[in-house]
């Protein structure tokens, strides 16, 4: 198994999160406020410098307003490295 931080699925996850945030009309700061985190946390996730676990994915989904199962389904369709 390759390192996940630079994997195709990690790239797809960060792209997915950015797309969902922008579609919701939210800024990184607004998402961060709902997560009770700093804007820099959201920036490092979206920038691909930080991995998130399933619990954090659920928190992002709730903060932005999408179904986390949609993210998992999307990532499952991406060919692993």
Q: Report the C-alpha gap between 45 and 20 in whole angstroms.
A: 14
Total count of domains within the chain: 1
Query: Which pLDDT belongs to residue 81?
Result: 84
Q: Report the C-alpha gap between 80 and 30 in whole angstroms.
A: 32
Query: Which pLDDT belongs to residue 22?
Result: 98
Domain-located, residue 2: no
Of 5, 30, 32, 16, the residue nearest 70 (C-alpha): 16
Show pLDDT as tens, one digit a residue, over the chain (81 residues).
Answer: 456 778 999 999 999 999 999 999 999 999 999 999 999 999 999 999 999 999 999 999 999 999 999 999 999 999 988
User: Domain range for residue 42?
Assistant: 8-76
From the DSSP assignment, how many helices (H) and strands (E) are in the chain?
A: 5, 0
Domain-located, residue 32: yes
Handedness of CA 51, 5, 20, 69 (dihedral sign): negative
């Amino acid at each position: 198994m390759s390192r996940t931080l630079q994997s195709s699925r990690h790239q797809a996850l960060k792209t997915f999160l950015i797309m969902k945030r922008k579609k919701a009309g939210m800024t990184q700061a607004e998402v961060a406020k709902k997560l009770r985190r700093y804007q820099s946390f959201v920036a490092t996730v979206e920038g691909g410098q930080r991995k998130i676990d399933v619990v954090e994915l659920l928190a992002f989904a709730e903060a932005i307003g999408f179904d986390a199962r949609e993210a998992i389904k999307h990532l499952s369709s991406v060919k692993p490295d």
